[in-house]
Amino acid sequence: MADDPVRASRRTEAEGKTSAFHALAGCCAAAALFLGALPALAQSPSQSLGDVPGREPLDPNIDPYPFDAPLALRVYFRETLPGGWRAGEPRQEPGGGFSLLIYVPDFWKGNPSSAMMRFCPRPYSNIWRGGVRWIELKPYYRQSYWPTSVCRPGAG
């Protein structure tokens, strides 16, 4: 019975249909992935959206990527503070300023309030050009808060 040629041909025919189905399913899946990626490519930020129907034309003098002050402050202090020091989340204050809690490591020796002035952004920094009017740095050293330091655009 195992050598029956009719059964063997039916088995071979069924295997051929199954492998053809799998190949077709693979092609359909690849096409679906490609077609699903087309809208993402069409919405690339490097392309202009000014000619999209129903949208007002974009003014080239307006920056499409507005200044994000909290992000700029996070990046600045991450790059500026020495090893072991870290800055808390910038908190916006009334009057166009921000306050940050600066965590000073316990192994550091010195006056943290006077050390804060070294970390103020320079007068030509993009942080000041972005509209930040002042930055209040509050040191936290050895489980206590120390007097704050205020950075202003002309005092960098």
User: Does pLDDT of 87 surpass 50?
Assistant: yes
User: Does pLDDT of 24 surpass 80?
Assistant: no
Report yes or no: 146 and 140 within 8 Å, Cβ to Cβ.
Answer: yes
Pairing verdict, β 97-104 and 86-87: antiparallel
User: Does pLDDT of 128 surpass 90?
Assistant: yes
Q: Which residue has the higher pLDDT, 40 or 14?
A: 14
- Tell me the whole-structure pTM to 2 decimals: 0.58
d(CA 106, CA 117): 19
Cβ-Cβ contacts under 8 Å for 140 (sequence gap 6 or more): 101, 102, 103, 104, 146
d(CA 49, CA 65): 13
Instruction: Please report where in the chains the tokens 């908190």 appear, as a residue.
Output: 91
Cβ-Cβ contacts under 8 Å for 43 (sequence gap 6 or more): none
d(CA 134, CA 98): 7
- Quick one: pLDDT band at residue 43, thresholds 50, 70, 90? very low
User: Does pLDDT of 142 surpass 50?
Assistant: yes
